[in-house]
Amino acid sequence: MAMRVLTADEMRAIERDAMERGLATGRELMERAGRGAVRTIGAHWPDLEPGGARRAVVLCGPGNNGGDGFVVARHLHALGWRCDLYAMEGAGGADAAAMRAAWEPLGLVHRLGPGDRPSLEGAALIVDALFGTGLSRPVELAAIALLREAARADGGPRVVALDMPSGRCADSGRRIGPDAAEANLTLAFHAPKRGHYLGDAPDACGALRVVDIGLPDAGAGLPLIDAPRWETISKRGGHKYRHGHAVILGGASGKGGAARMAAQAALRIGAGLVTLVVPPEAIVENAARLDAVMLHAAGDAHALRGFLSDARLNAVGLGPGLGRGAATRAWVEAVLDGPRAAVLDADALTAFEDRPEALFDLLRPGDVLTPHDGEFARLFPDLALELSGEAATGPAASRIDAARAAARRAGAVILLKGPDSIVAAPDGRAALHAAVYGRAVPWLATAGAGDTLTGMITGLVARGLGGFEAVSAAVWLHVEAARRAGPGLIAEDIASALPGLFRDLAAARQ
Ligand SMILES: NC(=O)C1=CN([C@@H]2O[C@H](COP(=O)(O)OP(=O)(O)OC[C@H]3O[C@@H](n4cnc5c(N)ncnc54)[C@H](O)[C@@H]3O)[C@@H](O)[C@H]2O)[C@@H](O)CC1
Ligand SMILES: [K+]
């Protein structure tokens, strides 16, 4: 089963359900969380393991996250650590109070006031147990800056955050208020939360590990996109006409690189045939650069409509290198007026920035829009505005909410691109693709990478996948191909890495 990411509400529901079914009490869960955290810290940083005379500073908040902190302190103490506890005042629940009481025979608890910056002298570890999934408003504590500075410093104590770095929203990953902690390691209890993967939160989390606290996996949450099933992307016989005929639209002479890369990627991902349609004056340039990709000239939208009336053409990708003018709008209208599924990117989106509704009126549920953040903001300015800057209260609107709302409004599949890519369909389906932590590919931020992805999606749609499935498979393959190519990658390398990737996917299935 695909790994899933939870909201704070979903996490609370899982916990409540387990308690109602008598599987565990809240106190037992807290004990498992703290004990599991200490085990995981040891596994992640084996050099901290033997304990000895190490000093840890543990910062506890007013709720259950603080309760977890007291459990962590007790287990560190049992391993020989000296723990200095700092706790905020506030109305904690009975479980957190019990965990504090269990700590008190072992050491002092200092009061953590708004302006306090506990001394880190001699500390090897700082535990951020201030706020987790219950964060609802900005945190006003000098200790937040202390955690951030320590996490960023070379040398000095390492920072571990329980569940979330305090000040970050578990649902959106966004800062609640101006100040939020950072960590070198974040421990997610039971399952990762959405906020661990979204926006700049992965940087704030450092590394991410999940701590099992013995709760059943009920399948709740949003799926994290994993490798597509080999059966979905493999070819099982049949001649080229059985694997679809993808069409990519290209722009004026001298601007053809983007569309060529899309066309080549559509072919590499397995479309049986790919035709690049360009204005007549761009034929010579493209003919000099292409072999396996076929070429067709269309001077205007009327000619394009005529060409697309061929029923064998079953998907059209357009946008890369088209230009933003009225001609592009006319091409989009011609494509969406016909029966072929369309994948719209780049200029095909931006051409409608003045009147996005005109585009939405034409879209069909199987069409795909692949905006990056800037293009998204032009088509859905209100949704983008809700995501901008820090949030005032939690849980805050997330990129997942925005992509879902956009898919409903547009009536098409949306791929909101980024290291955290969200795919959302108008019927409510959504999934997250995370190229962060161990799968981060910063070198994928390169000219033409998006055009290649557009081609890959178009190729898979031509091969018969639905828009949502095509996007889900393509985003994973795109990142995995880029990981193979490695630093130094240019966009052409992505499609070139696909054969090796396919070979390995096929072998892994044997
Ligand atoms: N849900 C679960 O299954 C489990 C939860 N556990 C822990 O419990 C945490 C959630 O506990 P809580 O729901 O008590 O929430 P938190 O401990 O995250 O904090 C909530 C408390 O702080 C207050 N608060 C929120 N924002 C504040 C701010 N900016 N300044 C001051 N006070 C603020 C809230 O009113 C509430 O009292 C999880 O993150 C996890 O660490 C674990 O004990 C294990 C099991
Ligand atoms: K925390």
Q: What is the CATH number of the domain that holds 15?
A: 3.40.50.10260
Output the residue whose Cα is nearest ligand 1's atom 43: 30
Rounded CA Rg of the chain: 26
**Which of 193, 223, 253 is the last residue before a domain boundary?**
223
Q: How many CB atoms sit inside 10 A of residue 449's CB? A: 21
Mean pLDDT of the region 132-149: 97
The reply to whether 358 sits in an annotated binding site is: no
**Which of 189, 206, 223 is the last residue before a domain boundary?**
223
Q: Evaluate: CB of 70 within 6 angstroms of ligand 1.
A: no
| pLDDT attached to residue 1 | 60
Mean pLDDT of the region 196-203: 98
Same domain, 121 and 153: yes
Q: Is the pLDDT of residue 298 over 60?
A: yes
As a whole number of angstroms, the distance between CA 461 and CA 208 comes to 34
34 against 232, higher pLDDT: 34
- Which amino acid type is present at position 77? H
As a whole number of angstroms, the distance between CA 221 and CA 81 comes to 37
Domain count of the chain?
A: 2
Same domain, 436 and 381: yes
Q: With 0-12 CB in 10 A as exposed, 13-18 as middle and 19+ as buried, what is 46?
A: exposed
Same domain, 59 and 143: yes
Same domain, 96 and 21: yes
Same domain, 116 and 254: no
Q: Evaluate: CB of 30 within 6 angstroms of ligand 1.
A: yes
* Residue % of the chain over a pLDDT of 70: 99
Angle between helices 301-308 and 326-337 (to 10 degrees): 20
ipTM: 0.97
As a whole number of angstroms, the distance between CA 360 and CA 268 comes to 30
The reply to whether 64 sits in an annotated binding site is: yes
| pLDDT attached to residue 51 | 56
As a whole number of angstroms, the distance between CA 434 and CA 107 comes to 42
Name the closest ligand to CA 134: 1
CATH code for position 465: 3.40.1190.20
What confidence tier does 90 reach under pLDDT thresholds 50, 70, 90?
A: confident
| pLDDT attached to residue 235 | 81
Same domain, 236 and 93: no
As a whole number of angstroms, the distance between CA 491 and CA 505 comes to 22
As a whole number of angstroms, the distance between CA 205 and CA 197 comes to 9
Q: Evaluate: CB of 137 within 6 angstroms of ligand 1.
A: yes
Tokens standing for 175? 């800062």
Q: Which residues span the domain enclosing 81?
A: 4-223
Q: To test ligand 1's pocket by mutation, which of 131, 144, 179 has the most ligand atoms within 8 angstroms of CB? A: 131
DSSP state of 229: P
Q: Evaluate: CB of 169 within 6 angstroms of ligand 1.
A: no
| pLDDT attached to residue 50 | 64
Asked whether residue 394 is domain-assigned, the answer is: no
Asked whether residue 489 is domain-assigned, the answer is: yes
**Which of 197, 223, 249 is the last residue before a domain boundary?**
223
Asked whether residue 393 is domain-assigned, the answer is: no
Q: How many CB atoms sit inside 10 A of residue 207's CB? A: 15
Asked whether residue 391 is domain-assigned, the answer is: no
Same domain, 124 and 183: yes
Same domain, 151 and 272: no
Contacts of 324 (CB under 8 A, 6+ apart): 347, 350, 351
Nearest to 70 by CA among 51, 84, 50, 80: 84
Contacts of 445 (CB under 8 A, 6+ apart): none
| pLDDT attached to residue 118 | 98
Q: Evaluate: CB of 393 within 6 angstroms of ligand 1.
A: no
What confidence tier does 49 reach under pLDDT thresholds 50, 70, 90?
A: low
Half-sphere exposure of 175 (CA within 13 A, CB side): 16
| pLDDT attached to residue 174 | 97
Same domain, 261 and 277: yes
**Strand ranges for 1-81 from DSSP E:** 4-5, 55-60
Asked whether residue 84 is domain-assigned, the answer is: yes
Asked whether residue 333 is domain-assigned, the answer is: yes
Given a contact cutoff of 8 angstroms between Cβ atoms, the answer to whether 373 and 384 are in contact is yes
Pairing mode of beta strands 123-129, 55-60: parallel
* Residue % of the chain over a pLDDT of 90: 91
Mean pLDDT of the chain: 95
Q: Distance from the CA of 136 to the center of ligand 1, in angstroms?
A: 9
Asked whether residue 431 is domain-assigned, the answer is: yes
Same domain, 355 and 300: yes
Pairing mode of beta strands 413-416, 368-369: parallel
Q: Is the pLDDT of residue 306 over 60?
A: yes
Same domain, 246 and 217: no
Asked whether residue 205 is domain-assigned, the answer is: yes
Mean pLDDT of the region 320-329: 92
Tell which atom from ligand 1 comes closest to the C-alpha of 141: 30
Same domain, 250 and 339: yes
Name the closest ligand to CA 181: 2
Over residues 454-505, the pLDDT tens digits come to 999 999 999 999 999 999 999 999 999 999 999 999 999 999 999 999 999 9
Over residues 106-130, the pLDDT tens digits come to 999 999 999 999 999 999 999 999 9
Alpha helices, DSSP H, located in 184-279 = 201-205, 230-233, 257-268
Over residues 213-259, the pLDDT tens digits come to 999 987 899 999 999 999 888 888 777 778 899 999 999 998 899 99
